Amino acid sequence: MEILKVLGLNKVYGKEENQVNALRDVNFTMEKGEFAAVVGESGSGKSTLLNCIGGLDLPTAGKVFLDGEDLYALDEKKRTIFRRRNIGFIFQAFHLIGELSVEQNIIFPLLLDRQKPDKEKLEELMEVLGIADRRKHLPGQLSGGQMQRVAIGRALIMRPMMILADEPTGNLDSRNSRDVMDLLVRAARHYQQTILMITHNMNLTSDADRVLRVTDGVLKDLGGKRHEKLS
Amino acid sequence: MVRICIILSVFLVTAIFGMADMEIRSQNIQAKRNYGEWHVGIRDVSDEEAELLSLRPKVAACTRYDTLNYRLSMDYEIAGKKAVIAGFDESALDIFSAVEFLEGAFPQEGEALVGKDMQKRLNLKIGDTVILGCPDGREREYRVSGIIEQLPMLAEKDVYGISMNIEDFRKLSLEGAQDNHDSLVYLQFSPWCNIRKEIRLIRESFGFSEEQMGGNEVLLATIGQSSDLSMLAIYGIAFLLAVLVAVAGILMITSSLSSNIAQRTEFFGLLRCIGASREQVACFVKRQALYWCRTAIPAGVLTGTVVVWILCAVLRFLSPTYFADMPGLGISWIGLICGSLLGIVTVLVSSASPARKASGVSPLTAVSGNAWDRAPVRKAVSARLRRVETALGFHHALGNRRNFILMTCSFAFSIILFLGFTVTIDFMHYAVKPLSPQAPDISIVSPDNTCSLPGYLAERIGELRDVKRVYGRRFAYDVPIETGAGQESAYLISYERHQFAWAQDSLIEGSLQDTEEGGGVLAVYRPEEASAAPGNAAGLKTGDVIRADIGGTQCQLAVTGILSECPFNTDSGQRILICSEDTFIRLTGEEGYTIIDLQMTRDAAKDAAEEIRELAGEDVVFSDKRLRNAEVRGAVYSFALFVYGFLGVIALISAVNIMNSIAMSVSARLREYGAMQAVGMDSGQLLLMIAAEAAAYGLWGILLGCGIGIPLNRFIYEQMVTLRWGTSWDFPALPLGIIILVMVVSLLAAVCGPARRIREMSVVDVIADR
């Protein structure tokens, strides 16, 4: 089942001689449960692609359909709510809220959506992430690996159809990177979620079903276990 | 924001000094007009001494000026009215600008100057003769040599005045009234002279006593040469206010500069990274602040000057007579210089701390991406009962204890000052009679204080086009009464509908309606009899019955209400009882009025008073109080402008402080906000979070401000108003409402700026790793 469809995506920064084409006519689709890795040089347009797909950055042209919904046909408020419910973000710098405990950080999207967290599911998620014993801790009291686990928990709590991860292991050592990747794949498989992950680390692409390369804003599909579901 | 703060500080200082300058100029003109342009007056000076004084190099003008019957205690009369006589040298016309020459010439022997009003009423022209009746029964004739402008004192007392040369005056005063005239020599010194020193030298050289010499203190104060403590106190207050504004300005600019620095921490780190020394970074910040002054100071000075013009125009509109001489589009050089200088000094002082902060930024911040790191959080948000964004907002406010206490106190301080100061407005309204709604412009009084003014006179005057309102009163004096406290004497006064309506505000207890309908009398509160409970008229209270003996007839009067005050005083503490016109006529049989008061329309014709005087006839005391009222009103308006202006400054400074703090808080958390938006917080929720933070400061500030301000307001009110007039304290709902409204508007404004910034920010840019 096709979950993501990107059509003719273009992103241009600046004007006239300062104009930079960050994305040039990007077209691709992703199936439900698929795990794709995006690789490319710094400044090639990977993060721009992720931000455009996630509704954080407005493309200059093109469309992004998520589960059939045209993301940029929605107004800003509706797009935010759509993102909150259907897209989970994982950032390299974690971006946890310093004033919220581990548990509060994880359920933060639920609280924003005025939903009551399901205690059992929350417990299960924290067990899977291995941070159940740290639930009352503040982000400042956690290690980098633990912080990224909390960020993954936050991305998963709404059971979004799509997870966008921007260099999730960029700030972690190799052991923690491995753990986080395992966790991401395991969780995504468990919850049947589609993952699009940016990485510099070619070793991590082995976990992905597909590898996409972005060069000067042009996307190229490098192939992989195409159409093979994670489950 | 820094520019706005500099503009605001410069504007405030320019406006304060500019307004003070304009006020001093206006006071100077007023003082010259009211008291003359003399600097010192000396009693009992011989003509030889006067001659010697006039020859002193620093004396610009010297005149002899004597008055006779100024206190109206002697029977000098012109055309049946009491008269005041003045005698002076011709040089007095230069010193006393109030003696405005309309036509004619300075009086020679056997001649006199007359006022415009007297000239009109007696139909005099130059060359006519006026006859002055003296106390010894003799009459003296003077030929009218010129006409001068009417003086307020003569208009109010309804007396005539003539002026003559000093030789004629001395002849007159020697004829039996040597001890009853005031003989003075007035000196005017040359500009830039050290007047205090010159007065001391004159005293020492001529052997004058302290009592002999008196300064024109108001005029001396306006040129900074007074030693009068009350005048120095006014200067002290102005200086204190300027210092307060300067301190507030420094805090305001420091705060916004710090906010600006906080937003560019990484930039300063980068400067350090590429080789800038700490001193260079500090210098960079200071120079940048000074660079902002280039546009901000002229803008502040210009705004301040325009505001001064507007305030001058407002004062001229409110009290055209009193502030007529206030400069219209005057430039206050003192204001401009003080505003500019204080602006630069304030900016230099204010930039010191942020410059230190910026120079302390580690070069690592530029390369590590830790520029945005804040102090570690110690406690998690409690989000059990509230929405998470609201909880976060409150947590942001309460998280930094020091900042929270400062912000709360800043709010509370504004409220406390506001509530404290507003009592002075109540006090002013009670203390200054011409401000009260019943203050008359003209009073027509029975010459023997009986009910001799016919009732139809009030009706006829009321029909005149320029008359807004007429209200008469009947008086019965020294009515023997018997109350619970024993035998007393009272004034019985009748009120009509206007006066009953005005009395409503003074009603402490009981009802006006019963009295108005003839059911009894109102008693007026007497502070000297104040008992434990404020508002209790010491023995007399609603429901008491007074036995009165009016014209030999015994009657009983029920007290239907107590008034805190009334516009009249009694001679020796008699009780004042107020009744309706019908009751008065029924009790006394008197149908005429003792006093008819009237108020004129704002655009009344200049000669309208003449028309009324003609209607009233010559057998009444016609008291024109418009000039005097205008003077008092003018003084009150400047005081009110000062009080409200000060309150406005307090509110403005707290508003800017609030805006800065919120802006700083938002700047420090911008990246966090970006992350929150990325994970699904919409802009409405974000706005709510910032609003909750601002509301936390506001709520606690208002609670603390009310907690201290309301009891303070009550205490001051009871000391200033209740003790004097018996009016009990009421909850200050209106001032409290106004200051809370100002606070709420400031909070909204404080939230609007960051909200716009957040709306415009790109989530991607904010959360992008650097």
Query: ipTM score of the complex?
Result: 0.80
Identify all chain A residues contacting B383, using CB atoms and an 8 Å cutoff.
100, 104, 111
Considering only CB atoms, A99 lies closest to which of B381, B674, B762, namely B381
Do residue A112 and residue B767 have CB atoms under 8 angstroms apart?
A: no
- With vertex at residue B51, the alpha carbon angle to CA B48 and CA B52, rounded to the nearest 5 degrees, is 90
Give the nearest chain A residue to B369 (CA atoms): A93
Do residue A104 and residue B383 have CB atoms under 8 angstroms apart?
A: yes
Residue A4 is predicted with a pLDDT of 93
Identify all chain B residues contacting A93, using CB atoms and an 8 Å cutoff.
369, 767, 769
Region label for B51, one of left (φ > 0), alpha (ψ between -120 and 50) or beta (otherwise): alpha
Ranges in chain B, pLDDT < 70: 1, 23, 98-99, 152-153, 174-182, 227-242, 244-245, 248, 259, 262-263, 318-328, 362-378, 383-386, 431-435, 527-539, 569-573, 631, 635, 638, 642, 646, 650, 766-770
Do residue B677 and residue A140 have CB atoms under 8 angstroms apart?
A: no
Q: State the smallest CA–CA distance between residue B273 and chain A in angstroms.
A: 23
pLDDT band at A38 (very low <50, low <70, confident <90, very high): very high
* A residues 17..56 contacting B (CB < 8 A): 47, 51, 54, 56
Q: Does B766 touch chain A (CB under 8 A)?
A: no
Q: DSSP secondary-structure letter at B396?
A: H
Q: Region A165-185: what's the mean pLDDT?
A: 83
Q: Does B677 touch chain A (CB under 8 A)?
A: yes
Q: Does A140 touch chain B (CB under 8 A)?
A: yes
Q: How far is Cα B733 from Cα B87, in angstroms, rounded to an integer?
A: 57
Give the nearest chain B residue to A170 (CA atoms): B769
Q: Collapsing DSSP states into helix, strand and coil, what is residue B267?
A: helix
Strand boundaries in B206-362, DSSP class E: 213-215
Q: Judge contact between B466 and B604, C-beta under 8 A.
A: yes
Q: How far is Cα A96 from Cα B320, in angstroms, rounded to an integer?
A: 66
Q: How far is Cα B683 from Cα A112, in angstroms, rounded to an integer?
A: 12
Do residue B377 and residue A99 have CB atoms under 8 angstroms apart?
A: yes
Q: Is the pLDDT of residue A226 over 50?
A: no
Residue with the bigger pLDDT between A115 and B378: it is A115
Instruction: Classify residue A95 as exposed, middle or buried by CB count within 10 Å of its CB (0-12, 13-18, 19+).
Output: buried
Q: Does B385 touch chain A (CB under 8 A)?
A: no
Output the average pLDDT for chain A.
Answer: 86
Enclosing H/E stretch for A220: strand A218-224
Considering only CB atoms, B377 lies closest to which of A54, A93, A98, namely A98
Q: State the smallest CA–CA distance between residue B698 and chain A in angstroms.
A: 22
Do residue B380 and residue A95 have CB atoms under 8 angstroms apart?
A: no
Q: Residue B684 CB: number of other CB atoms within 10 A?
A: 12
Mention every residue, 6+ apart, whose C-beta is less than 8 A from residue B48: none
Give the nearest chain B residue to A83 (CA atoms): B680
Q: Does B504 touch chain A (CB under 8 A)?
A: no
In tens, the pLDDT along B367-412 reads 554 444 555 566 777 766 568 888 888 888 887 777 788 778 877 8
Identify all chain A residues contacting B672, using CB atoms and an 8 Å cutoff.
95, 97-98
Of B660, B655, B743, which Cα lies nearest the Cα of B702?
Answer: B743
Of B420, B354, B408, which Cα lies nearest the Cα of B657?
Answer: B408
Identify all chain A residues contacting B396, using CB atoms and an 8 Å cutoff.
99
Do residue A80 and residue B681 have CB atoms under 8 angstroms apart?
A: yes
Helix runs in chain A, H state only = 46-53, 76-86, 102-112, 119-129, 144-156, 174-191
Residue A228 is predicted with a pLDDT of 43
Give the nearest chain B residue to A112 (CA atoms): B681
- Look at the pTM and tell me if it is higher than 0.95: no
Location of structure tokens 């609003």: B691
Q: Region A134-141: what's the mean pLDDT?
A: 89
Do residue B682 and residue A81 have CB atoms under 8 angstroms apart?
A: yes
Identify all chain B residues contacting A56, using CB atoms and an 8 Å cutoff.
678, 763-764
Considering only CB atoms, B388 lies closest to which of A54, A91, A112, namely A112
Token pair in block for residue B298: 């002229």
Considering only CB atoms, A154 lies closest to which of B392, B395, B679, namely B679
Residue A64 is predicted with a pLDDT of 94
Residue B432 is predicted with a pLDDT of 64
Identify all chain B residues contacting A98, using CB atoms and an 8 Å cutoff.
374, 376-377, 672
Q: Does B396 touch chain A (CB under 8 A)?
A: yes
Q: State the smallest CA–CA distance between residue B509 and chain A in angstroms.
A: 56
Token pair in block for residue B181: 């005239």
Region label for B98, one of left (φ > 0), alpha (ψ between -120 and 50) or beta (otherwise): alpha
Considering only CB atoms, A80 lies closest to which of B387, B672, B680, namely B680
Enclosing H/E stretch for B481: strand B475-483
Location of structure tokens 């007839």: B553
Q: Does B765 touch chain A (CB under 8 A)?
A: no
Considering only CB atoms, B769 lies closest to which of A57, A92, A158, namely A92
Considering only CB atoms, B399 lies closest to which of A85, A99, A109, namely A99
Residue A230 is predicted with a pLDDT of 40
Torsion of CA B354, B357, B358, B364, to 10 degrees: -160
Location of structure tokens 């780190």: B269
Do residue A84 and residue B677 have CB atoms under 8 angstroms apart?
A: no
Token pair in block for residue B217: 């203190």
Considering only CB atoms, A91 lies closest to which of B369, B685, B767, namely B767
Token pair in block for residue B248: 């507030």
Phi/psi of residue B323, nearest 5 degrees: -100, 15
Q: Collapsing DSSP states into helix, strand and coil, what is residue B313?
A: helix
Do residue B684 and residue A77 have CB atoms under 8 angstroms apart?
A: yes
Q: Does A86 touch chain B (CB under 8 A)?
A: no
Residue B686 is predicted with a pLDDT of 87
Q: Does A101 touch chain B (CB under 8 A)?
A: yes
* B residues 443..482 contacting A (CB < 8 A): none
Q: State the smallest CA–CA distance between residue B396 and chain A in angstroms.
A: 8
Phi/psi of residue B123, nearest 5 degrees: 55, 50
Do residue B681 and residue A57 have CB atoms under 8 angstroms apart?
A: no
Residue B227 is predicted with a pLDDT of 66
Do residue A104 and residue B678 have CB atoms under 8 angstroms apart?
A: no
Beta-carbon pairs below 8 A across chains A and B: 96
Q: In what order do the strands lie in the sheet with A218-224?
A: A87-91, A162-166, A194-198, A35-40, A210-215, A218-224
Mention every residue, 6+ apart, whose C-beta is less than 8 A from residue B251: B657
Token pair in block for residue B478: 């020294």
Give the nearest chain A residue to B400 (CA atoms): A99
Q: DSSP secondary-structure letter at B385?
A: S
Of A123, A174, A121, A125, which Cα lies nearest the Cα of A145?
Answer: A174
Do residue B678 and residue A81 have CB atoms under 8 angstroms apart?
A: no
Q: Region A140-152: what's the mean pLDDT?
A: 88
pLDDT band at A63 (very low <50, low <70, confident <90, very high): very high
Identify all chain A residues contacting B678, using CB atoms and an 8 Å cutoff.
54, 56, 83, 89, 91, 95
